[in-house]
C-alpha cells in the first residue's frame, strides 16, 4: 500500500552527510603533501598500491563479510563496484601521483577540486542527479581557478595539470558509481577497493619500478593510506549515500585547502599569490552550496537495499524493538511505496527524474 502525504516531517536534510564528507576531506587533504614527500623513495605505482593496501588494512575489521556481500549482490552493484575499483582504485591514484611528481603539492592540492567538476557533470549527464544553478556556478568557479593555477605555472605546468585532470575524471566516475552501491557498506566497499587496487598496483610497481628504497617509506605510505584513503573513503561513501555524489563531492572539495596549508607548513613550499586567489574563489563556490535547497512532490517505488540509516528521517518506518529512532544502524531493509514532499538530496532514496516532478 502506498503512503500518500503532501508533506512529511524530516530531520534537516544532509547535515550528517556534510559532516562525514568534511571529515573525509580533512584526512584526504593531508595525504597530498605527504605523498609528495615520499615519491623520491617510491614510484607512482608502488605508492598507489601501498596507499590502498593501507586503506584495506584499516577497514578490514569493520568490513566483515565483504567478499560474501559482493558475491550475493545484484548484477548492477557488481558492475558499479568493478568500475569503481578500476577507475577510482587502480587508474586514478597513479595518474595523480604522476602529476604530483611534476608540480608543487600545494598547486596539485587545489587542482584536485577538478574532481568536483567531473563528479557533478557526470552525475547530471549519466546518473540523473538534479543539479541547480548554484552547483553549476560552483563548478564554473572551480574550473576557472584550475585554469588560473595552470596558467600561472607556465608551460611546465601543462603535463602535470593534464595528469591530475585525468585522475579527477576517473574519481568523478568512481564517486558516482560508489554512491549508488546499496548492497555493501562503505567499509566493505573501501576494503574491496583497497585490497584489489592495492595488490594490483603494488605488484605492477615492484615489477616495473623495483623495490622501495627504504622500509620507513613503505610504513609511512601504508599509514597515509590507512588515514587518508581508508577512513577517508569510508566516511566519504557514507556521506555520498546520504546527500548524493555531486553534493558530497562539493563538500569534499574542502580537502585541497588542508593539503595547501600543509604544503606550506610541512614542506616549506612558497606561498604563491595565485594559490591564495584560487583558494578564495573556490571558497566562494563552496559557500554557494549553503543556500542550495531542493524540494518537490515525489514518489518512492518499492526498494530493498543495505545502508546506514535511522528511523526519524521520514523514510525508514520499520520497527526495531528497543532501538531508539535516532540511533544509526545498518542492515538489509525494504521500503514500501510512498509519495510525499520534503527537502531532499539525491541520495539512495531519491534517484527520481525531475521532468514530471514525481
172-186 mean pLDDT: 86
In whole angstroms, give the CA distance from residue 114 to residue 169: 8
Q: Are strands 295-300 and 338-343 parallel, antiparallel or unpaired?
A: antiparallel
Residue with cell 605510505: 221
In whole angstroms, give the CA distance from residue 152 to residue 148: 6
302-317 mean pLDDT: 62
Confidence of residue 287 (pLDDT cuts 50, 70, 90): confident
The kind and range of the H/E element at 307 are strand 303-309
Radius of gyration, CA atoms only, the chain: 20
When mean pLDDT is compared over 6-15, 279-288, 308-317, the highest value belongs to: 279-288
- 228 DSSP 8-state letter: I
Residue with cell 617509506: 217
> Which grid cell is 112?
584536485
pLDDT digits (tens, 9 = 90+) for 338-349: 665 555 455 555
Confidence of residue 49 (pLDDT cuts 50, 70, 90): very high
User: Would you kindly state where each structural domain of the chain is located, as residue ranges?
Assistant: 32-291
In whole angstroms, give the CA distance from residue 185 to residue 237: 9
Percent of the residues in the chain that have a pLDDT greater than 70, as a whole number? 73
Q: Nearest-CA neighbor of 30 among 14, 11, 51?
A: 51
In whole angstroms, give the CA distance from residue 347 to residue 333: 16
What pLDDT sits at residue 13?
47
In three-state secondary structure terms, 338 is: strand
Cα distances (angstroms) measured from residue 32 to each of 154, 224, 351: 22, 9, 33
84-99 mean pLDDT: 93
Amino acid at each position: 500500500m502506498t503512503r500518500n502525504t503532501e508533506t512529511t516531517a524530516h530531520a534537516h536534510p544532509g547535515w550528517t552527510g556534510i559532516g562525514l564528507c568534511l571529515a573525509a576531506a580533512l584526512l584526504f587533504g593531508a595525504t597530498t603533501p605527504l605523498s609528495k614527500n615520499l615519491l623520491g623513495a617510491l614510484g607512482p605505482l608502488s605508492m598507489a598500491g601501498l596507499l590502498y593496501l593501507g586503506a584495506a588494512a584499516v577497514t578490514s575489521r569493520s568490513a566483515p563479510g565483504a567478499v560474501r556481500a559482493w558475491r550475493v549482490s545484484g548484477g548492477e552493484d557488481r558492475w558499479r563496484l568493478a568500475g569503481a575499483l578500476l577507475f577510482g582504485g587502480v587508474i586514478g591514484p597513479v595518474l595523480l601521483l604522476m602529476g604530483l611528481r611534476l608540480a608543487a603539492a600545494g598547486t596539485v592540492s587545489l587542482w584536485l577540486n577538478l574532481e568536483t567538476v567531473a563528479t557533478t557533470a557526470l552525475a547530471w549527464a549519466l546518473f540523473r542527479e538534479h543539479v541547480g544553478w548554484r552547483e553549476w556556478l560552483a563548478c564554473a568557479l572551480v574550473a576557472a581557478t584550475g585554469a588560473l593555477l595552470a596558467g600561472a605555472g607556465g608551460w611546465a605546468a601543462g603535463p602535470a595539470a593534464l595528469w591530475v585532470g585525468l585522475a579527477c575524471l576517473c574519481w568523478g566516475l568512481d564517486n558516482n558509481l560508489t554512491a549508488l552501491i546499496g548492497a555493501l557498506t562503505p567499509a566493505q566497499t573501501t576494503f574491496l577497493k583497497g585490497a584489489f587496487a592495492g595488490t594490483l598496483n603494488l605488484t605492477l610497481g615492484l615489477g616495473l619500478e623495483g623495490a622501495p628504497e627504504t622500509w620507513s617509506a613503505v610504513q609511512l605510505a601504508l599509514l597515509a593510506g590507512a588515514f587518508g584513503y581508508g577512513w577517508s573513503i569510508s566516511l566519504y561513501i557514507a556521506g555520498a549515500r546520504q546527500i548524493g555524489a555531486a553534493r558530497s563531492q562539493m563538500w569534499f572539495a574542502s580537502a585541497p585547502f588542508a593539503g595547501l596549508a600543509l604544503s606550506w607548513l610541512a614542506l616549506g613550499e612558497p606561498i604563491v599569490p595565485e594559490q591564495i586567489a584560487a583558494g578564495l574563489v573556490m571558497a566562494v563556490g563552496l559557500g554557494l552550496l549553503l543556500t542550495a535547497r531542493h524540494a518537490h512532490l515525489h514518489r518512492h517505488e518499492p526498494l530493498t537495499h543495505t545502508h546506514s540509516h535511522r528511523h526519524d528521517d521520514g523514510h525508514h518506518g520499520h520497527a526495531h524493538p528497543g532501538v531508539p529512532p535516532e540511533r544509526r544502524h545498518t542492515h538489509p531493509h525494504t521500503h514500501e511505496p510512498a509519495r510525499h514532499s520534503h527537502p531532499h538530496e539525491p541520495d539512495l532514496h531519491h534517484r527520481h527524474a525531475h521532468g514530471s516532478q514525481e
